[in-house]
Structure 1
Amino acid sequence: MSGIMGIRHLNSHPVNHQYLEKMVEILAHRGPDHADIWVEESVGLGHRMLWTTPESLIEKLPLVNLTGNLVITADARIDNREQLMTLLTLPERSIEKITDSEFILAAYEKWGESCPEYLLGDFAFAIWDQHQQSLFCARDHLGIKPFYYYYQPNQIFLFASEIKALFCVPNVPRRLNEVRIADYLTLTMSDKAITTYRDIWRLPPAHSLVVNQSGVHIWSYWSLNAQKELQLESNAAYAAEFRKIFTEAVNCRLRSAFAIATHLSGGLDSSAVTCVARNLLAKDGKTSLHTISTIFDKITECDERPFINAVLDQGGFIPHYVHGEQFSPLADLDKIFQYEDEALLGPSHFYPWNLNRISQEMGLRICLDGFDGDTTVGHGTTRLTELIHQGKWKTFAQEVKALSPHHHVSPAAVLQSYGLPYLRDLAKQWRWIAFAQGVQQIHQHFGVSRKLLLIHHGIKPLLKSVLQLWRRRQDKSPNLINPDFAERIRLNERMQILADSSEPPLTVKQDQWLSLTQGLLTYTLEQMDQYAAMFSLEARHPFMDKRLIEFCLALPSEQKLYQGWGRMVMRRALEGILPQEVQWRGGKTDLTANFIDGLLKRDRHILDQMMSNRLGNIEKFIDIDFLRSAYKRLISAGNQVSDADSMAIWQAVTLALWLDYKQVML
């Protein structure tokens, strides 16, 4: 993890060194080990260095090539170095003495603007090409490394790893992007390019950008293939291939000149990363792996120690702990907003904040985690929908009955979620023959009355759909959102476009592809980067490996859900690596209880103060009457807190606090 920044004047004005130096200074937390700038007339590049890999210890950026016609600044870890070594013209040194930025620069010299297609790893970089008089920029496939920019046609182009650096240059406006606020309040976050600031953009993942005298040109160099199907000869073959790819995904993220830690929660994903990393380090004769875990002494329903200890009992670890009840959702926001540039915080944001804080206190620089293994591998529950549409009711019933005990839900509840909606859709489409066949199958396998199925899932849905259509015409906006705000930004139209373009997925592959390509994933990865950068750390996510994602997406659905077990291919693959109690655990612990306790007890003074007299800056966005009603319900609900109420209050309060802190132009 490092910091990059740059200025390109498009009107031939020379770069003001002072502005670039300010950009470098404000991102000091991203790279305390070294800083430098390079300026030539109307172009300037800057860099902040955090030493992480062995090669970074000798890396000097910005880097000018031998002929002096190319200059690069980069925040990058390149993982296919051995492969590139055979393809590129590189300095005559051992691979251990060649830096990642040199690999990128050599790739550009060979393949030009196509070079990101040949790179594997996490990267954001910019290359000034003197001959072309162009600035070429690119961001990695998943968007692990951030890249933000500001562009004023015929005047200036600025870029940086964090938005705050862009504001160091005069005349860059800080105007609030109200559409982004609406996306946050409606939990859509579909747009990968916009930010919370109207004139600041993010380069989307897997995109390249060129700035020259004719303007800014952006294109995608890679997209996740939703059509590829993988067919191997056996379950064992799928498991072996998963183990091979996953092990390599972990291994390339262990390249470090310093000790490494993992965030061990006790879940399947973090445990998998931790166990594989420990084995790889032990094989290389390296020291034990640090683990950092959040534990709970009072709110015991959130505590994962039985699973954490099952991993630690295997040996080879140096464990560290964070006590989850000692921190709360709103407590550190004044510190966080010094670094966090956007207002859109999730209710679990304070867990990585505290884990990273402990990591810095321990003198660590690199932390691995199990971030979003759920999405990468896929639980495969949409296979239930897939089976129904294929007419495989018997297999559907078998999977439902097997899945229920693993997740502590009744077969009737699973049927309610996956089987009965299919019946209702058939009724709405007037497909009565298929409806009758579905009723018979459900009656046969689950014993539900055919008459009740006809009444409640055939006739009533038709009446309900008419009522819903009428109500949609009456309702102008979601309850939390101020109706005037919704009308001003034409929120209904925006939501309708999203609804029309996002039909519920009918297959596991469709569902997984949508999850992996949504804008929310991009934003969350950027937030993970900033929460690490606050403490001069680099967060590495083995499950966000391009090779692993492509492999898992191409798997048959039964490799994801089989005999009631989600992510079956991963469970098989890690046999003998994971402790059995982790390998075969069903769901994961819900941390809602700690969030609610923190909000209503530890943060109650902040919450009450906000609700009583500090909501004025969000009245134009929020229906304050609805918010106050939700607040009254929340504080009087006891143990029956509504998720909808707590989330509405969380969104409103954090937005108000962020606007107070940042003083953004509304």
Structure 2
Amino acid sequence: MSAILGIYERRGAANIEKQLSSSLKVISDYGPDGNDLWISENVGLAHQNLRFAPEDALEELPYFDTESGLVVTADIRLDNRIELFSKLGVTLQKRNQIPNSCLLALAWQKWGKDCPQHLIGDYSFAIWDIRGQTLFCANDHLATRPLYYSITRERFVFASTIECVLSLPGVSDELDEDYVIAALADRDSYKKDRTYFKGIRRLNPGHTLTVSPTTERLDRYWIPEDSKDVRYASDEEYAEAARDIYTRAVNDRLRTTLPVGVHLSGGLDSSSVAVLAARERRRKGLAPPVAYSWSPPPDLTADISDEHQRIGAICRQEGLTAQYCPTNAEDIISVFRKDPTRRPIHVTELAEITVRKKAHADGVRLILSGWGGDDTLSFEGSGYYSYLLLRGRLIRLFRERRRHGSPLKFMLREALLLMFRDRYDGQGKVRARSLRPSGPETFLLPELLAKRTMRKIPCRQSSPRSTMLWRWRSHWITNRIESWAAHGAEKNILYAYPLLDRRLMEFCAGLPAEQFFREGSPRLIMRNAMKGILPDEVRLQKSKGEPVRVKQGLGEAYRAFEKIGRQLANQTEMPSRARYFDMDGLLEQLKPERLAERPNRAGIIGALQFLDF
């Protein structure tokens, strides 16, 4: 991804050029294709360039339109350029000469702060309106291209990375203790727009921010709850509509001649992305994508596992070569040594780091991921039974459950769980103690845990739609996107997520519950849409399990835990951030005999990631 940054001195002139030039060095790894600045008396915008799509060759960012008095800087891939050309009155003769920045300027002139409602793609951008003396910032519906900012009465600064914001003038690096406690207590805590630093905010997904000399206004423009109902006469028609939108989402992300990679686990989501991407690249006469798997290579001396068989089936069908990139203890330790306060780190980084290193060595610049499919087109239908129960459809519920044991017992349990504000909390209370991992869920000191103010958004899971929408707004999806964006930039690798396409998500939000789950079959619409595209052994698989990958990954993780435990135990002084933790308890859990007892890994990972050792 490219990177953007800017300074707005709200009280008058300052030496902006020197400040921006210095901060550009912080994000130099975000783009190998040069950088530039636009400077006025009290505003400066900058851009670090990574060219990807054909129209990027036309860009000269920041873009200054002298006629309208607008200045644009953007990290953007627009997927609906053709529709925008028509809406904005761009003639056929000019369309091949119009970069995305010019389209943004035209969109702002036509729609003002509502312009993001008309944009489809991945983006963050800023527009300085000289005549109106306002700075407008926006991101896409999931903040696929993150944007962070700091604002005071005197100054507004923004950038694509937290590190860059910290390098800009007037920004404090004081930690936000409330945020730290929430992050260490429960990774699912809803942190809204906050970061680890008191003075830095993230622009939440689907939001805009307008700043003038004396005011600032935050608006939410993407409201998936308002998505229109989607209704067709048959499963076949639903599947066809889903397939059309999904295929377009994949193809829109492949408008490049650069080397491309795909994730491939053998599951529905990654396999469908890999197949559709391979076919689009073949249609264009381009090299097929390289398929990367977190799994270890198949053991040729033993029976081939189900996950390897599914990966092999996809590769044989599409002529792909699987690159197996199992994680290792050294890579895991290198992730733990990174500071999550400066570049966000999702737990999946422990595995993805190895894939990214291999992809970088292969010259890959774009990786398509199936991430998000479980929450959109291949959503498993969580909340369906509650949906039936609450609507009094007891006969249907009885028929759905009788194949899985006593329907009456199940309905009583379902009614009990609906009494809790949050289903996950309810399940934790009724789950057998023997099924819970050993060890504490967090090593945060009890006196700090008692100060926790931020909580997760509760979800009763009263219907598939309510569950899906809850996941979309609870940072369930965006935390991984934010992490991979930050660390992919280190290797000039861009991630794209076709199953999180805005058009596809709005389509899914409008689907009836039975398209996700019916007669004991989850992910119904995805399986139907992929008929004739995926091999049936992949399309109709019953389990998402990857036991070979998980076993290998856990083994390497425990090796990393043990090695870090020995290092910490042998240090004469504890890390400065040890003040947040019960270090005796943590060190005890990192002993080999404790690691053999299936400890609560979330607590260990959260502590090790935050510690500065």
- Contact kept, 8 Å, 2:459 with 2:470, in 1: the verdict is no
What does residue 307 of structure 2 align with?
A: 304
- Contact kept, 8 Å, 1:560 with 1:569, in 2: the verdict is yes
Secondary structure of 1:351's match? helix
Shift of 1:86: 0.8
With over 3 angstroms needed to count, the CA separation of the structure-2 counterparts of 1:351 and 1:285, relative to structure 1, is same
With over 3 angstroms needed to count, the CA separation of the structure-2 counterparts of 1:10 and 1:241, relative to structure 1, is same
Aligned match for 1:557, one of 509, 513, 525: 513
Shift of 1:228: 4.2
Aligned match for 2:446, one of 463, 483, 489: 483
1:345-390 Cα distance to aligned partner (Å, 9 max, x none): 4433122222222222111211111012001121103212222333
Shift of 1:394: 4.6
Aligned match for 1:627, one of 565, 583, 586: 586
With over 3 angstroms needed to count, the CA separation of the structure-2 counterparts of 1:238 and 1:8, relative to structure 1, is same
With over 3 angstroms needed to count, the CA separation of the structure-2 counterparts of 1:117 and 1:56, relative to structure 1, is same
1:311-349 Cα distance to aligned partner (Å, 9 max, x none): 011134344332345765223444x54xx6547644331
What does residue 436 of structure 1 align with?
A: none
1:348 maps to a residue whose letter is T
2:324 maps to a residue whose letter is Y
Distance in 2, matches of 1:565 and 1:91, equals: 49
Instruction: Report 1:107-256 matches (<5 A).
Output: 107-153=107-153, 155-185=154-184, 186-225=186-225, 228-256=228-256
1:396 maps to a residue whose letter is L
- Contact kept, 8 Å, 1:329 with 1:595, in 2: the verdict is no
Instruction: Report 1:3-14 matches (<5 A).
Output: 3-14=3-14
What does residue 566 of structure 2 align with?
A: 608
Distance in 1, matches of 2:415 and 2:86, equals: 57
Distance in 1, matches of 2:510 and 2:419, equals: 33
What does residue 381 of structure 1 align with?
A: 382
With over 3 angstroms needed to count, the CA separation of the structure-2 counterparts of 1:427 and 1:485, relative to structure 1, is closer
Aligned-pair Cα RMSD in Å? 2.9
2:171 maps to a residue whose letter is V
1:145 maps to a residue whose letter is R
Distance in 1, matches of 2:177 and 2:418, equals: 39
Structure 1 unpaired stretches of 5+? 405-410, 430-460, 466-476, 661-666
1:55-102 Cα distance to aligned partner (Å, 9 max, x none): 112311011114261110000001110001112144874533321212
Instruction: Report 1:358-507 matches (<5 A).
Output: 358-377=358-377, 378-400=379-401, 411=405, 419-424=411-416, 480-487=443-450, 490-491=451-452, 494-495=454-455, 502-507=458-463
Q: What fraction of aligned residue pairs are identical, expressed as a percent?
A: 28
Shift of 1:427: 9.4
With over 3 angstroms needed to count, the CA separation of the structure-2 counterparts of 1:195 and 1:248, relative to structure 1, is same
Secondary structure of 1:317's match? coil
- Contact kept, 8 Å, 1:262 with 1:367, in 2: the verdict is yes
Instruction: Report 1:270-285 matches (<5 A).
Output: 270-285=270-285
Distance in 2, matches of 1:124 and 1:297, equals: 38
Shift of 1:194: 0.3
With over 3 angstroms needed to count, the CA separation of the structure-2 counterparts of 1:53 and 1:393, relative to structure 1, is same
Task: Give the stretch that moved more between structures: 26-35 or 11-20.
Answer: 11-20
Q: What's the TM-score, normalizing by structure 1?
A: 0.82
Distance in 2, matches of 1:606 and 1:535, equals: 26
1:635 maps to a residue whose letter is E
Aligned match for 1:547, one of 468, 487, 503: 503
1:506-528 Cα distance to aligned partner (Å, 9 max, x none): 11111111011112423221112
1:527 maps to a residue whose letter is S
1:269 aligns with 2:228: no
Distance in 2, matches of 1:319 and 1:241, equals: 30
- Contact kept, 8 Å, 1:479 with 1:623, in 2: the verdict is no
With over 3 angstroms needed to count, the CA separation of the structure-2 counterparts of 1:246 and 1:41, relative to structure 1, is same
What does residue 577 of structure 1 align with?
A: 533
Distance in 1, matches of 2:419 and 2:220, equals: 41
What does residue 437 of structure 1 align with?
A: none
Secondary structure of 1:167's match? helix
1:395 maps to a residue whose letter is R
Distance in 2, matches of 1:593 and 1:18, equals: 52
1:525 maps to a residue whose letter is I
Distance in 1, matches of 2:297 and 2:276, equals: 28
1:413-472 Cα distance to aligned partner (Å, 9 max, x none): x998x644335369999xxxxxxxxxxxxxxxxxxxxxxxxxxxxxxx9xx99xxxxxxx
Structure 2 unpaired stretches of 5+? 431-439
Aligned match for 2:606, one of 620, 630, 651: 651
1:536-569 Cα distance to aligned partner (Å, 9 max, x none): 1111110111111111121111110122221110
- Contact kept, 8 Å, 1:264 with 1:292, in 2: the verdict is yes
Runs of 4+ in 1 over 6 A off after TM superposition: 298-303, 426-429
Secondary structure of 1:295's match? coil
1:482-505 Cα distance to aligned partner (Å, 9 max, x none): 222234xx32x544xx5xx62512
Shift of 1:265: 1.8
With over 3 angstroms needed to count, the CA separation of the structure-2 counterparts of 1:539 and 1:227, relative to structure 1, is closer
Distance in 1, matches of 2:212 and 2:187, equals: 36
Shift of 1:231: 2.1
What does residue 53 of structure 1 align with?
A: 53
Secondary structure of 2:122's match? strand
1:123 maps to a residue whose letter is Y
What does residue 599 of structure 1 align with?
A: 557
What does residue 442 of structure 1 align with?
A: none
What does residue 434 of structure 2 align with?
A: none
Secondary structure of 2:150's match? strand
Distance in 2, matches of 1:423 and 1:481, equals: 34
- Contact kept, 8 Å, 1:331 with 1:603, in 2: the verdict is no
With over 3 angstroms needed to count, the CA separation of the structure-2 counterparts of 1:2 and 1:583, relative to structure 1, is same
Aligned match for 1:509, one of 458, 465, 484: 465
1:283-302 Cα distance to aligned partner (Å, 9 max, x none): 33333232222331489999
Distance in 1, matches of 2:368 and 2:313, equals: 19
Distance in 1, matches of 2:262 and 2:419, equals: 50
Shift of 1:573: 0.6
1:651 maps to a residue whose letter is G
Distance in 2, matches of 1:557 and 1:425, equals: 20
Distance in 2, matches of 1:392 and 1:582, equals: 32
What does residue 323 of structure 1 align with?
A: 326
Task: Give the stretch that moved more between structures: 270-279 or 350-359.
Answer: 350-359
Larger radius of gyration between Structure 1 and Structure 2 = 1
